[in-house]
A = this chain, B = another copy of it.
Amino acid sequence: MPSKHTSKHSYTESEKKSIYKVMSERRDVRHFNQKPIDYETFMTILSSAHLAPSVGLMQPWRFIHITSRSLRENIHDIVDKERLLTAQALGEKKEEFLRLKVEGILQCAEVIVAALPDKRDEHIFGRRTLPEMDLASLSCAIQNMWLAARAEGIGMGWVSLFEPDALKKLLNMPADSHPIAILCLGQVDEFYKKPMLVEEEWTKERPLEEMCFTNGWNKP
């Protein structure tokens, strides 16, 4: 719901509406049909990452496009191994978890591994006490991609079920780099109306009010 505020810098009502619409309709997608994505659309989505903010302008994003089918299958194996280990760790929710579709690596059109670069210790600005700000910047970049993909009618899923060391080894990544996402992009028959984990009744969303405090950590 766009606010009615206007200053000389504010966007038109119609522009704002598009922006809130894409935020509302963006979904973490695991169900892809097998149709391809054209190269121009793929590059438009990837380029949106590069518009993201970054701490000290370090641009800590690296994207490994997986075009080899056998590598994609190896990545799927790494994820499936972690899926089973996660299921074990979930205890009584194990069976329910195993029924969920948690990734679409073999069905999506394109796979990108997103990673933090090597030599990050050279960057001190904004990271001396909070070194994890590089991950924050890369995550902002991925959120841009998610929104761009939705606008282009493309589904995107962020898979974080993997052992990072296994993925690093598979992709010859430097010891001080760090993969944080296997991004699956592809066409979909339908976008989920609600987050898939809500549709599947895995969990419920809680209201924003429960997450807002004033002047200190207190009861909402």
User: Which A residues fall within an 8 A CB radius of B?
Assistant: 1-11, 14-16, 18-24, 26-28, 37-38, 40-41, 43-44, 46-53, 55-57, 59, 61-68, 71, 82, 85-86, 89-90, 97, 117, 124-130, 132-133, 135-140, 142-144, 146-148, 150-154, 158, 160-164, 171-174, 177, 180-181, 187-188, 191, 195, 197-198, 202-203, 205-206, 208, 211-218
Interchain nearest-CB distance for A196 vs B (Å): 9
Name the residue on B nearest A156 (C-beta): B53
Residues of B near A216 (CB, < 8 A) are 64, 71, 171-173
Number of copies of this chain in the oligomer? 2
Inter-chain CA distance A130–B163, complex, in Å, is: 8
Q: Which residues of B contact A150 (CB under 8 A)?
A: 11
